[in-house]
Amino acid sequence: MSIWDAIILGIVEGLTEFLPVSSTGHLTITSKLLGQQIDDPAITAFTAVIQFGAIAAVVLFMWTDIKTYAIAWFKGLRHPEYRGEFDHRMGWFVIVGSLPICVVGFLGREIISGPLRSMWWVAGSLIGWSFFMVAAERLGSKARPLTRITLLDAIVMGVVQCLALIPGVSRSGATITAGLFRGLDRVAATRMAFLLGIPALVGAAVFELQHALDGSIGVVPVIVGVVVSFIVGYASVAWLIKFVAKHTTEVFAFYRILLGVVILILLATSTITAT
């Protein structure tokens, strides 16, 4: 992989990791356009590892919240009087909500990095999940802020997050949609999606790190991809929080449908191949 390829993929990762448009889907599409074998284990590993940059970006952006929840969670373990506080409970919500994707991702790792790495899956998932996003916007009450989130909300969002293992669904798209269906407002659903994404992204990146470094990619492109995704990812996270405070996420659904249709046309006309 050239440095230029790594920069392009880092930009795509940073832009799309936290937007509800599927970073894996966009990375798969971009890798395909760059002439790479998208089902190559080295490419799969690289796209997972450059998530370290996006992880660092969202951790930096939400550092105050993360520190507050972590301190309150540890306090609650030692002192029962803290266990009823919201910050302590949020620590448990993030832990419990993160477990499903860790388990499913590990057990299904061979399928995820193999058969699902197809442009047909990407296109179908981009289109299919968009209808759930629109439904969540129109049916969800969007009445509850983050301070009124419950354990059941976290579990539902965590379970639905597992669908993001299918390229094209979108991890943030899945969790935000689940949060909206549960009645959370857009900002609450988005912030919770960010928090649930951190353990999932860390797990995937750590698991694939050795494969990326041992493969044909090289250390320098990996470092470049991580740095670029961090810079672009921070700007993307900050923008999304401001956007959802005043706008519907349906615009992302319409974009996803358009992109999915274009991919299907290119596949049907043999302009591009599925892998």
Per-residue pLDDT of the chain (275 residues; tens, 9 = 90+): 889 999 999 999 999 999 999 988 899 889 888 988 877 777 878 888 888 899 999 999 999 999 999 999 999 999 999 899 999 999 999 999 999 998 898 887 777 666 777 889 999 999 999 999 999 999 999 999 999 999 999 999 999 999 988 989 999 999 999 999 999 999 999 999 999 999 988 887 777 776 666 666 778 998 999 999 999 999 999 999 999 999 999 999 999 999 999 999 999 999 888 87
CA distances from 111 to 37, 105, 166 (A): 16, 10, 10
CA nearest neighbour of 167 among 18, 5, 19, 29: 29
Sign of CA dihedral 51, 47, 166, 100: negative
Residues 6+ apart with CB under 8 A from 177: 20, 129, 132, 133, 136, 160
Tokens of 230: 């961090």
What whole-number distance in Å separates Cα of residue 148 and Cα of residue 179? 12
What's the angle, vertex CA 96, arms to CA 130 and CA 19, rounded to 5?
A: 30
Beta bridge partners of 144: 184
DSSP string covering 125-155, please? HHHHHHHHHHHHHHH----B-GGG--HHHHH
What's the angle, vertex CA 4, arms to CA 54 and CA 239, rounded to 5?
A: 35
pLDDT of residue 49: 86
Tokens of 116: 């699902």
| Reported pTM | 0.90
What whole-number distance in Å separates Cα of residue 10 and Cα of residue 222? 9
If phi > 0 it is left, if psi is from -120 to 50 it is alpha, else beta; for residue 35 that is left
pLDDT of residue 213: 66
225, 46 in Cβ contact below 8 A? yes
